[in-house]
Amino acid sequence: MLPPLPYGPADLEPVISARTVGLHHGTHQQGYVDTLNKLVEGTRFAGLSLEQTIRATAGIAEHTAIFDNAAQAWNHAFYWHSLRAPGGGPAPPRLAIRIDTSWGSLSAFREALKASALAQFGSGWTWLVQDGSRLRILNTPNADTPLVLQVRPLLAIDVWEHAYYLDHQNRRAEYLTGVIDTLLNWDFAAENLGST
């Protein structure tokens, strides 16, 4: 089932328009959910959660289509919660300490996050993850998800063109600056942070 957005479709404007949110959530994400449901019907994956499906199919060639659609459904749900309006601003203290440890300052972290997202060739995702006691930025191509890596995802930015092309055309940097500076949901990132 398609999870509802945690806010209204126009709430992320002007960085992400209601039209983009409507298409992205109602067409792209809905498409992944619908395709997944068809693919798993009558299989041993029917009835599993998205997380269980992703873990059960990762790296298995014959289940690539199920993995891709399940991972995209999960990644998108995580992305919507990674944003809010107003967002951005300072990180909560327990996260800010870890950001300072890894990047020296919040502004240096923002630059590193943007640079990583800009460097993703073609479609994919940029993530803030917890790797043991450290925070890291990583990219995943296409549908790949850090859920199957030994790290804990904290925030996601969708860098597929469908996430920004209607509003920013090919100017990915403009979309990223708006998202990183004004839409990141730090409280969601802090909730995802583990104790280690």
Residues contributing to the site for Fe ion (CB under 5 A): 158, 160, 163
125 by Cβ neighbours in 10 Å (0-12 / 13-18 / 19+) ranks as buried
For Fe ion, which is the closer residue by CB, 160 or 186?
160
Measured from the CB atom, is 121 or 196 closer to Fe ion?
121
CA–CA dist 72, 66 (Å, integer)? 10
- Comparing CB distances to Fe ion, the nearer of 135 and 157 is 157
CB of 80 to Fe ion, least distance (A): 10
- Cβ at position 38, least distance to Fe ion in Å: 20
CA separation for the pair 186, 155 (Å, rounded): 8
Separation of first and last alpha carbons in the chain:
33
Q: Which is nearer to Fe ion, 134 or 171 (CB)?
A: 171
Q: Determine contact, residues 82/185, Cβ cutoff 8 Å.
A: yes
What span, in angstroms and rounded, lies between the C-alpha atoms of 114 and 61?
A: 32
* Side chain identity, residue 16: I
Output the smallest distance, CB 31 to Fe ion, in A.
10
| Residue with smallest beta-carbon separation from Fe ion | 158
The least distance separating Fe ion from the CB of residue 159, rounded to whole angstroms, comes to: 9
Tell the smallest beta-carbon distance from residue 162 to Fe ion (Å).
5
Q: At residue 169, what are phi and psi to the nearest 5 degrees? A: 45, -125
Q: By C-beta, is 74 or 160 nearer to Fe ion?
A: 160
